[in-house]
Chain A
Amino acid sequence: MSAEVSRIAPAAAARVGGFVRRIAADPMGCLGLTLVTLLLFTGVFADLLVPYDPIKIAVPERLMDPSWAHPLGTDQLGRDVLSRVIKGSQIALGVAVSAITLSFAGGVILGLLAGYGPRWLDNVLLLLFDAVYSFPSIMLALAIITLLGPSLGTVVLVVVIGSVPVYARLIRTQTLTVKTSEFVLAERSMGAGRFRIMARHILPNVIGPLLIVASMDVPVVITIEAGLSFLGLGVRPPAPSWGRILNDGYTQIRDTPWIVIGGGIPLIVTTLGFTFLGEALRDQLDPKLRKPVG
């Protein structure tokens, strides 16, 4: 077994390497990959990159214009906006990555089970999805937060409960069209089991659209986190979420637009980065769209 793994591992590594290279060969994919990598880098090493303590209050230095000392100026409490933006990327990424990963996994598993599992399971799952759908999302979010108390974990849970039904429906619909195709019949006639067919033959053919949707949902989740933080239902102050930065800057926009610009640009860059990456990902995952690398 271990000998087999060691034989397969380099091949798998080479395949992932080739995959990244092919995404980088596509100009838009390259841009998306760069932006996302930059964001990941900033998020992971935020504590090393910040020039100042992002929550240290220095009232005498409040609302300063950009300068070499404070490239994005300071907010109304004299905190360095650049440091807060950098630290904020950590929170934004943490929420987005954990929420999207969990929703993705949940959506794929439930969607495949609904689409390829027994009929009764499909009906039960659809009923659950519809039940979640029928709640206005804000009401659902408020109810969950009221029950569990505001925290990062609660924000993640709100997003997961809201997106799993959407993702699962997407996977289910695709599964229904793929499961009657001849190659699935051929696998069944060879004696392939349900789980083998789902994992090896259906999943790769249904996952493409969900990858796009999920990667484009990353900025949406960051916005949800920002919105909830703005309402005081997400990250508690003084933690510097991008939503809080925007909120802080909102009141000062006439005198000092730097705070809003500083908090807004990362949101835009993140949206673009994940969208480009999502589209490049889709092109590469579908061998029919894959362009040869010269």
Chain B
Amino acid sequence: MSPLLEIRDLRIRFRVAGPIRARLKGIDDPFLDAVLGVSFALKPGSTFGLVGESGSGKSTLARAIVGLVPVHSGAILFEGEEAKGGDSDFATRRRHIAMMFQDPVGSLSPRLTVRALITEPFLIHGKDGRDLDAEARRLLDMVGLPANFAGRYPHELSGGQARRIGVARALALAPKLIIADEPTAGLDVSVQGEILNLLVRLQRELGLAYLIITHNLAVIRHVSDELAIMYMGRFVEQGATRDIFENPAHPYTHGLLAAQPLPDPDRRRANVELQGEVPSLARRPKGCEFHTRCPRAIARCRVEIPLPSRLDAGRLVRCHAPLVAPIASTD
């Protein structure tokens, strides 16, 4: 099956100093890389998870897909088509990809009623004679909210209700892909479960594909088919979710999994594997970005950037000393 979304060697960088300021302050490279050398493919109807710490570039990557952030190099193909340049070029893509932002309430325009919020996509992309009231009822029903929510304002909603409204709005135009940035952030655990079950049910019923961004490993294990672990803008490991959880190959992945709390009071965590802080993106370590915190770092890691090497079953890992032996190095 051809991929719905394909990303090839993507690089996104931000200017941190204007040309004049860079010259005056003697900054050679007034850019920082938020996303570097990222490639992956998302099949229709499947779920891809993006995991990483804050500032690892997950959200930037997602925003670039819908054209909110310019791409420096590489390509983002949606149904084989690349969108370049202006907003008009992204119009089709934005019709078929819906994005949900982190803050459930903050991503809803505060002066609009729920009815206006969830029917906004029809107004943007042409309503084609649809009855907006009927559409609003249909969408509210799909996310399990009563029809009388249509008259409410965002500040009158709880976090879970607001998140459901966000899902309803994302569903309005029957998209093929929903990008969910931290869909469970700021919600009670029981509500998190409800939202995830809702997403899973909608995927089954509508054949949606999801790109889910989170730092919550339990969430991603529950919902995603494939997974990528992101560190300082790079995918350090990617592959089938189950393989990665059962047998992490990258020391960073291993550290993340080991840091997960376990529901067993007797099994104390022996030691914390991940020490220290993520280095600043402005001062990227030489060689492997992770070597400053890596328990397995060898001399080579300090000088040479590891290329993705292939493990079993389409898994890729960027490490000189992976925990699982690679089959072959790519590139």
Question: Which residues of A are in contact with B by a Cβ distance under 8 Å?
Answer: 181-183, 185-193, 196, 200-201, 204-205, 287-288
Contacts and interface: CB of A to CB of B under 8 A. Distances in A.
Nearest to A287: B153
Contact of A287 (B103, B110, B125): B110
The 10 A-B pairs with the shortest beta carbon distances in the complex, nearest first, are A191-B94, A204-B111, A182-B107, A189-B99, A182-B101, A183-B109, A189-B66, A182-B106, A186-B107, A287-B153
Contact of A191 (B90, B101, B103, B112): B90
Contacts of B98: 189-190
Nearest to A290: B153
A205 B110 CA distance: 8
A287 B108 CA distance: 14
Contact of A185 (B101, B111, B120): B101
B331 to A, nearest CB: 32
Contacts of B87: 191, 193
Given A287-B111, A287-B155, A187 B101 contact: no
Contacts of B102: 182
Contacts of A187: 109, 120
A190 B121 contact: yes
A181 B154 CA distance: 14
B270 interface: no
Contacts of B120: 187, 190, 192
Contacts of B106: 181-183
A185 B63 CA distance: 9
A183 B90 contact: no
A189 B110 CA distance: 17
B68 interface: yes
B66 A196 contact: no
A204 B109 CA distance: 10
A183 B124 contact: no
A152 to B, nearest CB: 37
B173 to A, nearest CB: 8
A189 B68 CA distance: 7
B111 A189 contact: no
Nearest to A196: B124
